[in-house]
Copies of this chain bind each other. A is one copy, B any other.
Amino acid sequence: MVTIYDIAKLANVSAMTVSRVINNTGRISESTRARVKQVMQELNYVPNSMARSLVKQETKMLSLLITDITNPFYTTLARGAEDTAMRNGYKLLFGNSDEDYAKERDYVDMVLSTRADGVLFAPAGDGSAEHLRMLQRRNVPFVILDREVPGIEADHVLGDSREGARRLVEHLLALGHRRIAMVGGRQDVSTARLRYAGYLEALKLADVPFDSALVHDVGYTAVEGFAFVDALLSAEAPPTAVFAANNFLALAVIRALRERGVRVPEDLSVVCFDDFGESIVLDPFLTVARQPAYEFGSLGMQLLIERIQGAAGAAPRKIVLPSELVVRQSSSALTGV
C-alpha cells in the first residue's frame, strides 16, 4: 500500500505538502509540486478514500435504492441517477430491495455504516417510513422517488399516478368498455392507491358503476399463480378490459389470459402503467402510460445534490412528472355485446 508518507519521504517533503499537492490547496512552489507529482506517478499512488472520508466526514458516495432491478423503469432511472452523480463528482452505490421491507432495512443499515453522503430512495411502500426515519435521525439527506410515504416530509420526484390511471381508463371507456377490471399493486404503496383512485375517478366521471369483484390487489412483482384471473373470468359479469398497475403485471396477466384461451385484445383489452424500452421490445404491443424514467433518476439526483450542498434547511420540493398515453394494440374497441 502506497501512502502519502512514502511519497513524502521520496520527494523530501512533509506529508502535509503531499496532501496539498493532491488536493490542490494552499500555496506550493512549482518545483516541489512537480517533484511530488513525479513520485506519485512512479509509485502509482492512489489516495485512500476511507482515510480521507474519516477525517473529512464526507464520503462523496451517494446511494440509490430501487425496488426491482429487472424492471426497465428502474434501470433507466438508475442510468439517469448515475449520469448526474458522476457529473457532479459523486460515486453511486446501488441497492435492490426487491419490494421487501427486510432487505430494505438491511440496505439502510449499510448506507448508515458506509456513511453515504445521501440517498436516492425508492421505497418499497408505506412500511418504509420507519427506515426513512432512521435516515432522518442520522441527518442523512435523501430524496424519495416514485412513491410517497405517509408521514415523511422530504424532497420527492413522483409520477402522476392518479392522472395517468384516469387517462388510461378513460381511453378504455372511449373504446366502449364498461366492465373494466383493475389489477393493482399492494395497497400499502402510494402509486397503487393513486392508480386505484384514478381508476375510480374515471368510472365515476363516466357514470359507470363500480364493481369490487373486478378489483384485485397483487404486488407489483406478483407472479403468484394468478388465480385471480380465473375469478375475473368466471365472474357473473366478466370484464372486457383490464387496467394493470404496472408493466410487469400487465405482461403476466396477458400470459395468464392466453393460457386460459383468452385473446388480447380481441376478447379482452389490457392497458398498464410504465413502458418497456425500445431497445428491448421489438413490437411494442401494450397500451401504456409511459413515465419519463430517466428523468426520475436525473432530477432526483439533482435535488439530492442540491440538498447536500447547502439547502439543508430548505423546504421540501416535490416534482411531479407527467406520463404520456401511448396507445397500441393491446386495447381495442369493444365489439359485439
Closest to A223 in B: B279
Across the interface, do B112 and A46 meet the contact criterion of CB distance under 8 Å? yes
Across the interface, do A280 and B282 meet the contact criterion of CB distance under 8 Å? no
Could you say which residues of chain B place their CB within 8 Å of the CB of A48? 54, 113, 115
CB of A41 within 8 Å of the partner chain: no
Across the interface, do B279 and A251 meet the contact criterion of CB distance under 8 Å? yes
CB-defined interface of A277-292 with B at 8 Å, one 1/0 digit per residue? 1011111011000000
CB of A227 within 8 Å of the partner chain: no
CB of A35 within 8 Å of the partner chain: no
Binds B, one of A70-78, A202-210, A232-240: A70-78
Could you say which residues of chain B place their CB within 8 Å of the CB of A57? 1
Known: A93-B93, A115-B49. A281 touches B281 (CB 8 A): yes
Across the interface, do B276 and A280 meet the contact criterion of CB distance under 8 Å? yes
Across the interface, do B69 and A78 meet the contact criterion of CB distance under 8 Å? yes
**Interface size of A by Cβ–Cβ distance < 8 Å?**
50
Across the interface, do A283 and B280 meet the contact criterion of CB distance under 8 Å? no
Question: Which residue from B61, B79, B96, B285 sits with its C-beta under 8 Å from A70?
Answer: B79
CB-defined interface of A240-280 with B at 8 Å, one 1/0 digit per residue? 00000000100110110000000000000000000011011
Question: 17 more A-B contacts (CB under 8 A) besides A48-B115, A49-B114, A70-B75?
Answer: A44-B137, A46-B109, A47-B113, A49-B113, A51-B54, A61-B114, A70-B76, A70-B277, A75-B75, A82-B96, A223-B279, A251-B280, A252-B279, A255-B282, A281-B282, A282-B285, A283-B285
Could you give 29 example pairs across A and B, Cβ below 8 Å?
A46-B109, A47-B113, A48-B54, A48-B113, A48-B115, A49-B113, A49-B114, A50-B50, A50-B53, A50-B54, A50-B114, A51-B54, A61-B114, A69-B78, A70-B72, A70-B279, A72-B280, A91-B114, A92-B94, A93-B94, A94-B94, A251-B280, A255-B282, A276-B280, A280-B281, A281-B281, A282-B286, A283-B283, A283-B285
